[in-house]
Amino acid sequence: MISDKLDDLQDYPFWRLNALIRDIPLPDGETEAVPMWIGEPKHGVPEIVREALASNFDGYGIYPPIEGTPGLRRTMTSWLNHRYSLPSSLIDPDRSMLPVQGTREGLFMIALAAVPRASGDKAPVALMPNPFYQPYKGGAVAAGAEPVFLSCTADTGFLPDLDAIPADTLARTAIFYLCSPANPQGTTADLAYYHKAVDLAREHGFLLVSDECYTEIYDRDPPPGVLQICAEDGDLSNVVCFHSLSKRSSVPGLRHGFVAGDPDFLAAFLRLRKYAAASSSMASYAAAEVLWSDEEHVQENRRLYREKIDIAESILGNRFSFFRPPGGFFLWLDVGDGIEAAKALWGQAAVKVLPGAYLAEDLPDGSNEAAAYIRVALVSDLETTRTGLTRLADTLS
């Protein structure tokens, strides 16, 4: 009755964390921990969302189209063109743009459309970074692909080493998940890196999936995107990118993102999604259209995240291999043993963080390249962030 494919999936990281600390009491006098474990923005929902939902309330009485509305697709395309200085002819809003109900479901389901049936005794390969966003592996396993994990350590600049991928692996690859800014490290791919990844996808005939959901949260310079490479020759083949409002606009509960790129692939993806995908409500589509049209709230979000990075730098200094992440809102701290550190921070300091090992696949020898790390989410207000980081530094020092 239960698919044996599920045997290839460990419990989700947050379940594992809750099991880890379940029997550890919080310190005396503490009733809840500082939330630094999950990337759930707490800056507050922009007021324009309330207005958009209220004025489109009757939309809840309509089955929403999976492909979104023409106005929403045009608005998302316009944002994409402006953000990356793309030519207006590159993205056809009716062929190269689709909304998804939060990028998690889209990143999972895209493997079902990209991975072919196995030919011979070896399954197609799904490449992904290690550490990785868990739906990458979930989608690969559900699609019958073999997940192949590419080390993302300090030695590789926390991005996969594209030159180190074996030729026989590339020959079997059906899909390659790439994340920039990286979750959890915050490092960003440059245009030369994207160029090499796109060239590999086209040379070996696989789909390059660029997860750019943290791209609007950056410290100094706006990260580039993969479609800038496609704009060089006007060719979208073998390439799609994902973007999301969850982090950009602090609306994780709106469940809205989009995928843009190769029109032939997206036609097949839409065909699959007509069978299985959930869609946002018409009211949510309207709210998303308003958010993609507004930059003021995004600029304020970036300002707040920069302030929290400043706080982290002032408290942590050069301890725990701290570095200012170029993108995203996570700190990736080397604390020696991430699991033990997470237990100590919960039980001694009432701070909840995520062990790095829970985000990474074990190596064949049983070791885990992320075992020394914790991921710290800077999602709360400034004072809560200062409190959490101060407790973290005092406890782990």
pLDDT of 390 above 90: yes
Mean pLDDT of 363-375: 96
Mean pLDDT of 38-59: 95
Q: DSSP assignment, residue 126?
A: E
pLDDT of 115 above 90: yes
The predicted structure's pLDDT at residue 377: 98
pLDDT tens-digit readout, 172-216: 999 999 999 999 999 999 999 999 999 999 999 999 999 999 999
Q: How far, in Å, CA of 359 to CA of 369, rounded? A: 10
The residue ranges of every structural domain in the chain are 4-44+297-396, 47-292
Mean pLDDT, the chain, whole residue set? 97
Q: How far, in Å, CA of 208 to CA of 174, rounded? A: 9
pTM of the model: 0.97
Structure tokens at 396: 């782990």
Q: Taking the domain 47-292, which CATH number applies?
A: 3.40.640.10
The predicted structure's pLDDT at residue 121: 86
The predicted structure's pLDDT at residue 64: 94
Mean pLDDT of 215-223: 97
Structure tokens at 248: 């950009």
Nearest CA-CA partner of 285 in 13, 31, 41, 62: 62
34 close to 352: Cβ distance less than 8 angstroms: yes
Q: Is 120 exposed, middle or buried (0-12, 13-18, 19+ CB in 10 A)?
A: exposed
> Please, which pLDDT band fits residue 279 given cuts at 50, 70 and 90?
confident
pLDDT of 277 above 90: no
The predicted structure's pLDDT at residue 207: 98
pLDDT tens-digit readout, 258-273: 999 999 999 999 999 9
Mean pLDDT of 19-33: 96
The predicted structure's pLDDT at residue 221: 95
The predicted structure's pLDDT at residue 42: 94
Number of Cβ within a 10 Å radius of residue 238: 22
Residue of higher predicted confidence among 49 and 1? 49
Domain 4-44+297-396, CATH among 3.10.20.440, 3.90.1150.10, 3.30.70.1340, 3.30.10.20: 3.90.1150.10
pLDDT of 280 above 90: no
Nearest CA-CA partner of 334 in 313, 357, 351: 357
Q: Do domains 4-44+297-396 and 47-292 have the same CATH topology?
A: no
The DSSP string of 252-288 is GGG--EEEEE-HHHHHHHHHHHHHH-----HHHHHHH
The predicted structure's pLDDT at residue 119: 84
